[in-house]
Amino acid sequence: MSKEPWFGSAAEALPDDVDDSVLIGRIWDPSVDGPSPVTVRHGEVIDVSHRFPTVRDICELPDPAATVAGLDGPRVGGFGELLANTDAANRDRSRPWLLAPVDLQALKAAGVTFPVSMIERVIEERARGDLTLAADIRARMLADIGADLHRLVPGSAAAERLKAALIAEGIWSQYLEVGIGPDAEIFTKGQILSAVGTAVPVGVLAASTWNNPEPEIALIAQSSGRVVGATLGNDVNLRDVEGRSALLLPRAKDNNASCALGPLIRLFDERFPLSRVRELEVGLQVRGVDDFHLAATSEMAQMSRDPVMLVRQLIGPHHQYPDGAVLMLGTMFSPTQDRERPGEGFTHKVDDVVRISCPALGALVNRVRHAEQCEPWQFGVRDLMGNLARRGLL
């Protein structure tokens, strides 16, 4: 009996109701030496590049789900075959494998959208990246402001009163500002085409000593701002770097292989409308070679900001994205479970396996490596345009 691969099975990677799901993604096709958009139907991967050369083109349609549901094209193979071939250590480069499911969309993320993560960001700031100070600060902060903040509406009169009280107590923070103030924290997570997909490494900088995964739902938005689908994301975070200074956020967030998305985009339709996102639960498991195991759940209902309102802060008259955007919605997961010494909390070790899952979206699984050792990002927008032109798809 063969052992299941570290990234799990095809059944785990796909939504529980896969036969009622409209799914799109991307593959690397060695026969054309480039990427192709695909749909997955009844476990079969179907190439749709002859109709839509990019995932961006699909997502800009008036009704992406209805169009994709009626598409046909050449069969690439079974989803399980491509998933198995995605693991770089055992990859047959003459056969197709999975990529991150987005291409020309901007890679964006929202931060401090859950009260728990808001408190942890304040702790990072006060500890200045020193995880040994975090436990003591955490205990004192929760005693001062409490943890039951999820009913507080950001930007409301009640939020303003809390802000004034915290300032009077001398514990105000820029993280509390974006957590309960009128303006959300929305930042660039990575450059276009730099995201990695499932069954491949995610990267943390070798110099980082305090870091963690951030399991999130990511929304796919058209250039108009209309949201057309969702996927899973890992907004890998270096807590020590951001804790030293919020101005180091790009260093903490945007590194080689630090943005993972996938495995597929589920397009919204009558079976899976946008409203379902507000009810989803996202599970996280981390398993280390040291036998460490961590499990947690993020409930989207605990968000302090509505997902649609976050997209409106991203796309609108104030800022346009002609190719649309993917927006990770933030996480309530800020691990405090001690991994080694008491009071030092959690940080990644090389070879940790991170599994982010949701029954409606499947599972995104990655193995942690140092960013410097992950496969370098080399296929950019110019490469994509040249490849599509050579294939006669532009």
Mean pLDDT of all residues belonging to the chain? 90
For residue range 11-65, what is the model confidence (pLDDT) as tens digits?
Answer: 999 999 999 999 999 999 999 999 999 999 999 999 999 999 999 999 999 999 9
- Answer yes or no: are the C-beta atoms of 22 and 69 closer than 8 Å: yes
- Average pLDDT rounded to a whole number, residues 305-312: 92
116: confidence class by pLDDT, cuts 50, 70, 90: low
Q: Which of 213, 349, 374, 210 is nearest to 289 (CA)?
A: 349
**C-alpha dist (Å) from residue 200 to 4, 78, 259:** 16, 19, 11
Query: Cα separation of 337 and 288, whole Å?
Result: 14
- Of 263 and 125, the structure prediction assigns the larger pLDDT to 263
Q: Which of 178, 39, 187 is nearest to 106 (CA)?
A: 187
Q: Which of 152, 145, 154, 151 is nearest to 180 (CA)?
A: 154
The pTM of the full predicted model, rounded to 2 decimals, is 0.89
For residue range 87-102, what is the model confidence (pLDDT) as tens digits?
Answer: 999 999 999 999 999 9
Q: Tokens 């009913």 identify what position?
A: 151
- Average pLDDT rounded to a whole number, residues 120-143: 64
- The pLDDT score that the predictor gives to residue 129 is 61
- Answer yes or no: are the C-beta atoms of 363 and 198 closer than 8 Å: yes
Q: Could you tell me which residues are beta bridge partners of residue 165?
A: none
Q: Does the pLDDT value for residue 1 go beyond 50?
A: no
Q: Which long-range contacts (CB under 8 A, 24 or more apart) does 31-36 make?
A: 32/387, 32/391, 33/387, 34/384, 34/387, 34/388, 34/391, 35/99, 35/103, 35/379, 35/384, 35/387, 36/76
